[in-house]
Structure 1
Amino acid sequence: MRSPIDLTHRADEVAPLLLGWVLRRGEVALRLTEVEAYLGLDDPASHAYRGPRGRAATMFRAPGCLYVYLSYGVHRMANIVCSPAGSASAVLLRAGEVVAGVEIARHRRGRDEEPANHPVARLASGPGNLGAVLGLDLADDGARLGVEFSLEPGDSPSRTVMVGPRTGISHAVDWPLRFWLADEPSVSPYRRSPRASRPAEDRL
């Protein structure tokens, strides 16, 4: 049995430890394969960079909360809040392997196209797809792990943990805060934002 993850640490410490753990909601469970760390007030790419206002207020809550927000008006993204309350450090869940509830996951992904067209390995690839598979709603913002959502030990990561820059952001783009398991087909592709700031402006 793997030791519980101490969510009171900073997101860049917690993020790689989450790899291989299983996030469960009802009958659907995902083994996490890709995550990104966001460092609150110290991180210009974080929603919390300008303080506890608007949607970012949830990030300032106690560790173990879910921060759920709407991206591009369509995708519901899930983050696990960590660090002591007020730090606003959180881990974005970018990808996972569906290990339970595959047919439910297919149905949730198949609203706009034939569900059978989604390979199992790609059902929860990318944070928007992961949110869809879990059936996330904005009402889930602030939910605590251990109630409707649970984080359970999975197999210890047998593959190498890779580290690289976060994807699709326009600030602090070269900070090495994206973590993923090597050779996992569920991991999403890296995409550098065309609006990304120059490397000289990015310092961890």
Structure 2
Amino acid sequence: MTAPRLPGTLVTFEGPGGVGKTTITKLVAELLDTDGVPVHATIQPSRAPLGELARHGTDTYRDMTLACLCAADRHHQLATEIRPALAEGKVVLCDRYVASSLVLQGMDDIPLDVVWALNHGVYRPDLVCTLSSAPAEIEQRLRTRGGHSRFERAPGSSFRETYGYLAATTFLRDQGWPVQVVDCADDPQATAGTIIDLIHRTRTETSVCP
């Protein structure tokens, strides 16, 4: 059974490590706040103990262990943080969500359908923004800043993630998820502005639907 929709709007940000998800999420939150829109920004894995275990444990936990950790953290965060904020009518911005699990656990050779099953029952976003850029540019940016996980530290990870997100985008669209691929401009403010327009359009469409 599909969970009932809540008054708020869930917007998720996906894309390869180093593409700019955290920066864009922060800018979008600031622009929404300036517009007087109630907003709650968060991240996955979460900042709860379970999420921190997954975030900092990619060298220790692998394969199904990590896949289960990430899924468990997501289900817990939905129950304790995301759904309550949506029930209050807020726009919830989430830096990484299910697509990231499909891609990263796929890099651990976990089949896509297994990852999808672990995430059964998660709340479907109102808008999925998949941030995209040239893999070579992302790779250079990632090497300059340093990898945050074993996935990001692996040579050629930006190329593998980029192709993984192409497959995840197709899969999620087939499941009825509203995915928009957003090319990252040189100016993050411009990218954030594009996403703000998508969010306002999504909120308008949602408000007129039964």
TM-score, length-scaled by structure 1:
0.24
Which of 1 and 2 has higher RCO (CA within 8 Å, sep 6+)?
2
Q: Which structure has greater helix proportion?
A: 2
